[in-house]
Every structure is written in C-alpha cells, then in structure tokens.
Amino acid sequence: MISPPFSFKFLNQSLLLLPEKAIFWEEEKMLIIADIHLGKVGHFRKAGIGIPKQMEQDDLALISDLIFEYKPARIIFLGDLFHSDMNNDWDWIVMWRSMFREIDMILVLGNHDILTNKFYDDLNFSLYKTLMINPFLFSHEPLKTKDLTDDAYVISGHIHPGITLKGRGRQLLTLPCFHFGAKQAIIPAFGKFTGKFCVKTIRGDQVFAVTKKKVISF
C-alpha cells in the first residue's frame, strides 16, 4: 500500500515527497527516483555472497505501485539504475519495462551505470549526463559548490543521504532523508540494498526524514 505523500511547494513547483523515497513532480507528471542499484543482488550472488533475490523484485514492484498511484507521464532515474556489470537481474528490468512501454523513461547516468548504451537503447531509455527541465537541473552526483549557479536548482542522488536522530537513553536512529540546500537537493536512495550517509546541514537547509509510513519535516 502506498503511504500518503508530503506536499512541498518549492520554487513555485508542487513536489510530493514520498515515503517510498521518491519525488512526484506534479506540474511535469514526473516521478523522480535515485540510486535503485538493481543488479546489486546478482552482483554479490555471482561473487558467492548469499543475498535474497527478492530484494530486486521488491524494488521494481514498488515502482510499479507508484506508477499505478500517480500515473506519471515519465520517470527520471538519477543514476545507478543498474549496479555495475551484467548479470541475470537484467532480465527483471526487461520484463518490467515491457509492462510500461507508454511511459517515457530517462536515465541520468551514474558512476555504476557502466553497461553499454545499447542495453538501454533496446529498452527505449533516454540517456543523459545531466538534464535541465526548468527550474531544475538533474544530476547523479551533487555539484561542487564552485559549479552551482543561480540559473538552475540541482536535484541529485549518489550520496544516499540520511539523518541521525537522538532518542532517550542515547539511542540513535539513522533515517533516509531528502536534503534541500540553498542551490541543490540530494534525494534518498530508492533501493532496499543501499546504505545511508549522514549529511551535514547548515542554517536554512530543509531536511525531511523518511520513515516507512511518512515523511517528516525537520
């Protein structure tokens, strides 16, 4: 079941921050997803490390649920769609893509997207290094401070951002988060088989922690 989104008005655009760790951009009818790392399970299994196969299928099933719920015209993947070299998990992507041929799918290439372009061309994916759709510039990796401009607000992934919350009795809990800074945002990794890196925030940043059921503003 899809959980209720957090409505976020930003740069005169309506963004739904989803507990499923994605964004739905209402004006563009676009689903924004980063760092699924499909194929990572197969990558480790090929190396003899026992990882449940179900993880891959669960991630694709969840994207399918989001498609049925929000009916996007297009989906943009902010890099690391498929983790490194070819393995049998690619077959799941082929089958899943065949179910949603009418949706425009875009991949902003990440450091793990090392398969040749032909694999993505065969599935009718549009490939970019970065992509500008006003007012946002989509990138896999966050831009360095010196490269940020006032002409576009960057939305990126790569970092797998998290925020650590302190509870009673010195308990610590690290949750995925959406991190919106002055000139760029970093969105959480969508894939289940991914870690988290605690981001540093400064005054004025907007951070939204993600639980299984909701998105919480801090």
Structural domain contains residue 47:
yes
CATH number, domain of 20, equals: 3.60.21
In terms of residue numbers, what domain contains 93?
6-217
Give the pLDDT confidence score for residue 112 in this predicted structure: 81
Q: What is the pLDDT of residues 103-126, one digit of tens each?
A: 999 999 998 888 889 999 999 999
Nearest-Å Rg of the Cα atoms of the chain is: 17
Structural domain contains residue 1:
no
Structural domain contains residue 63:
yes
Structural domain contains residue 196:
yes
pLDDT of the chain, 218 residues: tens digit per residue? 899 999 999 999 999 999 999 999 999 999 999 999 887 554 444 544 455 555 557 899 999 999 999 999 999 999 999 866 677 788 889 999 999 999 999 999 998 888 889 999 999 999 999 999 999 999 999 999 999 999 999 999 999 999 998 767 677 889 999 999 999 999 999 988 566 778 888 999 999 999 989 999 98
CA distance 145 to 66: 33
How big is the chain, counted in residues? 218
Structural domain contains residue 72:
yes
CA distance 37 to 112: 8
Q: What is the pLDDT of residues 166-193, one digit of tens each?
A: 767 677 889 999 999 999 999 999 988 5
Helical axes 90-99 vs 54-70, angle rounded to 10°: 20
Give 145's Cβ-side CA count (13 Å radius).
2
Structural domain contains residue 168:
yes
Number of domains in the chain: 1
Structural domain contains residue 83:
yes
CA distance 165 to 189: 18
Name the residue with tokens 């197969």. Answer: 42
Structural domain contains residue 176:
yes
Dihedral over alpha carbons 107, 123, 55, 45 (to 10 degrees): -100
Question: Cα dist. 29→18, 98, 107, 121 in Å?
Answer: 14, 20, 16, 23
178, 217 Cβ separation under 8 angstroms: no
Give the pLDDT confidence score for residue 171 in this predicted structure: 79
Four-residue CA torsion sign, 42, 43, 48, 54: negative
